Amino acid sequence: MSSTMVIVAGHVMVEPDQREAYLAGSLRIVEKARPAAGCLDVSIAADLIDPGRVNIFERWESQKALDTFRRRGGTGNVKLPKMLSASVLEYDVAAERPAFGKANN
């Protein structure tokens, strides 16, 4: 396995009246992921425009770190409302640079 940084990004769609329940259930996942070895960031958040969309973003030091988190039950036995659809992909990152021309804090 590579030590290349991995980004997991995309969104899931749920019934609009189920989105708050989905986010509440996701809280435990985020709480477990952020302190996990190799986790650089995790966010599961409501979309600003679409009431049924939940945006997902994760950044991991490596595929090994992400796989270890998942193997250790990182998502646990969290019960989430049914997803209507999902579009979430993993990306291997070749390089990174500041987005606004200088180091981000």
Q: Which CATH class is domain 6-92?
A: alpha beta
Question: pLDDT (tens digit, 9 = 90+) per residue, 30-81?
Answer: 999 999 999 999 999 999 999 999 999 999 999 999 999 999 876 667 788 9
Residue 66 in tokens: 């992400």
Residue 15 in tokens: 């019934």
Band of the pLDDT at 104, cuts 50, 70, 90? low
Rounded distance between C-alpha atoms, residue 92 and residue 95, angstroms: 9
Residue 62 in tokens: 């490596």
Mean pLDDT value across the chain: 92
Whether the predicted pLDDT of 1 surpasses 60 = no
In this prediction, residue 105 carries a pLDDT of 63
In this prediction, residue 23 carries a pLDDT of 96
